[in-house]
Every structure is written in C-alpha cells, then in structure tokens.
Amino acid sequence: MVEPLVVVEPAVGGGSRTGPCPLLVASEGRPVTVPDGLVNEVFQRALDALLPEGLPARRSVLAGPGLPVPDADADILLVPDHPQTGKTWTHAGPAYAVPLPYGVWL
C-alpha cells in the first residue's frame, strides 16, 4: 500500500501566499534550491519531497531592503511582506517573486 504524501504548511502566518505552494508554482516543475537559514529550514524539505529530481534546479535567493541586488542568474526571488502594511516588496527584473512573511524572510 502506498501512503499518501501529506504536506502541512508551516505556521508562518499571512494566509495562502505562504508555505511551499508559491514556491511550487515558481519552480515550473523543477527542483528549487533555497538559501541557508530559516527559509531553508521551513521550505527545502517539502520542496525536495514534492519536486522531481534530475532536472536543473531553479535557484532562489533572498531579495529585499538592505540586501545587495540579486544575481542575474537567480530564478526566484524570496521577497518580504512589510511587517506593518503587509505590502510585498517590489523588484525589477525577470525573476519570479515569492512573497514571504517578514519574520521568515529575515
């Protein structure tokens, strides 16, 4: 018997835009690498379980206020929601932006 895979999204707040779902959409069906730190602890295991192996990985990086401009080869930008207003940090460029609650983005 095959057990169904159940993914429980971490309680990171903010509603449906958090958790692995936006990263799964941004993955375009390819593996995703997530930067070290809390973001990795929260998301990498679920992404590894849900996405196929063997394809070139899409690279995600943290982007936002106080950080250097992301490398041009970053596929996915992990951007913060403002802690008071909830508005997502905006960016320029072709990378797919995935909003994260400020406390996880740190």
Average of per-residue pLDDT across 31-58: 92
Give pLDDT, residue 19: 63
pLDDT exceeds cutoff 60 at 38: yes
Which burial class, exposed, middle or buried, applies to 31 when counting CB atoms under 10 A from its CB (0-12, 13-18, 19+)? middle
**Residue 37 above 80 pLDDT?**
yes
The percent of residues above 90 in pLDDT, for the chain, comes to: 43
Residue 14: which of 97, 91, 105 has the closest Cα?
105
Its pTM stands at 0.77
CA distance 80 to 105: 6
Residue for token digits 């995600």? 60
pLDDT band at 101 (very low <50, low <70, confident <90, very high): confident
In sequence order, what E strands does 1-106 have?
32-33, 58-62, 76-80, 96-100
- Predicted pLDDT of residue 17: 53
Backbone angle region of 73, left / alpha / beta, with phi > 0 → left and psi within -120 to 50 → alpha: alpha
The pLDDT of residue 9 is 43
Q: What is the dihedral of CA 66, 69, 74, 77, to 10 degrees?
A: 40
Question: Of the candidates 45, 105, 33, 36, which has an alpha carbon nearest to the alpha carbon of residue 75?
Answer: 33
The average pLDDT across 50-54 equals 93
Task: Indicate the range of 6-15, 61-70, 97-106 predicted with least confidence.
Answer: 6-15
